[in-house]
Structure 1
Amino acid sequence: MPSIARLTVYPVKSCDGVDHTQVELLPNGGLRHDRQFALVDPAGKFINGKRTPLMHQLALSVDPLARDYRVGRRGEPQSLAGNLDRDGKPLSDWLSDFFSLEVSIVENDETGFPDDLDASGPTIVSTATLKTVADWFPGMTVEEVRGRFRANIEIDGVEPFWEDHLFGADSQPKPFRIGSALLGGTNPCQRCVVPTRDPITGTVGPAGFSQQFRKLREQTLPAWAARDRFDHFYRLCTNTRRLDQVPATLHLGDWIELAT
């Protein structure tokens, strides 16, 4: 039976994730504290991994409850620590210096800042899928693949690409349950430039990553998958949206089953 093996929340958009044993599901379908904070420029545009590989060198963690932060360059001693409410300006100044651009940190504790506003629920992938993708690239580890694709929910007890069961042949959300929550799978997630980079260093590689990924994703697409939903094959993980408003908390070990 498919079940949740990992629950990951990314408190700051494009920064490192934090694993949890349980997470509240928000009314919009997102996970509590996921992408609650984001970095923006003076025009309000996101500073994220799509925009600059410098994000990979940034070690910024925020505790959404205590509202404490720690920031520095990845692999170097911590540069600054403080509290968002008391010490917000020193953090903005440090980030502005790091990016050579005026930077502010913004917050939305009701919906977060999801990439897909029409499918703002958690992204889902299976452990078997991550292992398969790692095997496509010699020397790549499952943990590295996990860092490249940054899913919220990882499921175990299934075959590779089982998460492709969670969307249908058209754009209508395909209902399924995780624990007591009713979600709808919408589409296979279109990937950006971020997975082509090493998640720690930001270095592009291996060479031809996206081309090789597309080729092998097409070759290994399960026969039962909704092939017409792939206008291209640089897609991995399933996007979701919430289909009910019943209070729900997801837990490690919760079963996942298609609704009937």
Structure 2
Amino acid sequence: MARLNRLRVYPVKGLDGIDLEAAKILRGGTVAHDREFALFDADGDVVNGKRTDRVHVLETDFDPETGVLEVETPAGETNRFDLEGDRGAAETWFSDFFDADLSLERDTSLGFVDRRGMGPSIVSTATLRTVASWFDGLTVDGARRRIRANVEVAGVEPFWEDRFVGDGAPAFEIGGVRFAGVTPCGRCVVPQRDPDTGEPIDEFRERFVRKREELFPDWADADAFDHYYTLMIITRVLEAHRGETLRVDDPVEIVAD
């Protein structure tokens, strides 16, 4: 049976994700705590993996209950910052680490997602397993950390999510919360890199595109895809279903309308 297998958010944009057992859909249509914080430089540009591979060498964890962010450096130094009470210490530390004048901003209504008018990202476990098989030494969890989806669905075939974009695509529900596919997710440089070290896989994009085209599902709408360097989809949660909660092991069902 198709079910919600993992629910993951990225509390500070560009840094590590955390797994949750349950999460609310915000009124803005995104998952609570996803990209809730982001680092910006003096020009208003965000610090993320597209901009610098330095983000990969940091290990981070976040406690949604306390608002405490834990950051571990490659040297084993651990720092804890209270993002609820005082973000100033975190701003100073990250400014020193990235050698830039940074501010740590917060948005609890939508988060600092790339696509402001859209919602959660969706991928299947089988898709991640298939992509991992394309590269020597790449594990399913390694693929998961490179792709950085919010919602992972188990009990379905590889590239199951592709059916929800394009003309006439169906919607789907997770625990009664209805999602509509909006667009395939074109990938950037981040999936090419080891999420711990930032080291790239040689010719990652070329092999990925070749395998993606070779295995593109017959039942997907090819016209909805601009190119084959895509993986996972971006969705929109119906407004009537915002404010509801997703839970791991919720059933997933395709709906016709």
TM-score, normalised to structure 2, is 0.94
1:18-37 equivalences in 2 (<5 Å): 18-37=18-37
Would the aligned equivalents of 2:165 and 2:181 in 1 still touch at CA under 8 Å? yes
- Separation in 1, partners of 2:51, 2:230: 19
- Separation in 2, partners of 1:21, 1:163: 21
Deviation (angstroms), 1:49: 0.5
Task: Tell me which residue corresponds to 1:3.
Answer: 3
1:164-203 equivalences in 2 (<5 Å): 164-169=162-167, 174-203=170-199
Task: Tell me which residue corresponds to 1:215.
Answer: 210
Task: Tell me which residue corresponds to 1:17.
Answer: 17
Runs of 4+ in 1 over 6 A off after TM superposition: none
1:24-103 equivalences in 2 (<5 Å): 24-74=24-74, 76-78=76-78, 80-103=79-102
Runs of 5+ unmatched residues, structure 2: none
Would the aligned equivalents of 2:58 and 2:196 in 1 still touch at CA under 8 Å? no
- Separation in 1, partners of 2:93, 2:37: 16
1:92-131 equivalences in 2 (<5 Å): 92-119=91-118, 121-131=119-129
Runs of 5+ unmatched residues, structure 1: none
Deviation (angstroms), 1:174: 4.5
The alignment partner of 2:188 has SS state of: coil
Given candidates 223, 227, 242, the residue that maps to 1:232 is 227
Q: Per the alignment, do residues 194 and 233 of structure 1 end up closer, same or farther by CA in structure 2, a change over 3 Å counting?
A: same
Q: Per the alignment, do residues 85 and 237 of structure 1 end up closer, same or farther by CA in structure 2, a change over 3 Å counting?
A: closer
The amino acid of 1:10's aligned partner reads: Y
Would the aligned equivalents of 1:168 and 1:174 in 2 still touch at CA under 8 Å? no
Greater displacement, 208-217 / 86-95: 86-95
Q: Per the alignment, do residues 29 and 85 of structure 1 end up closer, same or farther by CA in structure 2, a change over 3 Å counting?
A: closer
- Separation in 1, partners of 2:63, 2:13: 13
TM-score, normalised to structure 1, is 0.92
Q: Per the alignment, do residues 77 and 118 of structure 1 end up closer, same or farther by CA in structure 2, a change over 3 Å counting?
A: same
Q: Give the aligned CA root-mean-square deviation in angstroms.
A: 1.6
The amino acid of 1:255's aligned partner reads: P
Would the aligned equivalents of 1:174 and 1:186 in 2 still touch at CA under 8 Å? no
Q: Matched residue pairs, number?
A: 255
Greater displacement, 101-110 / 80-89: 80-89
- Separation in 2, partners of 1:97, 1:158: 45
Deviation (angstroms), 1:85: 4.9
The amino acid of 1:46's aligned partner reads: V
- Separation in 2, partners of 1:131, 1:85: 37
The alignment partner of 2:117 has SS state of: coil
Kindly provide the CA deviation profile for residues 169-227 of structure 1, in whole angstroms up to 9, marking residues without a partner as x. Answer: 37xx752211121111012111111001111101111x100111011001000111111
- Separation in 2, partners of 1:83, 1:25: 24
Deviation (angstroms), 1:115: 1.2
Would the aligned equivalents of 1:12 and 1:61 in 2 still touch at CA under 8 Å? no
The amino acid of 1:210's aligned partner reads: R
Kindly provide the CA deviation profile for residues 114-138 of structure 1, in whole angstroms up to 9, marking residues without a partner as x. Answer: 111232x111111111111011111
Would the aligned equivalents of 2:18 and 2:61 in 1 still touch at CA under 8 Å? no
Identity percentage of aligned residues: 43
Task: Tell me which residue corresponds to 2:251.
Answer: 255
Q: Per the alignment, do residues 44 and 65 of structure 1 end up closer, same or farther by CA in structure 2, a change over 3 Å counting?
A: farther
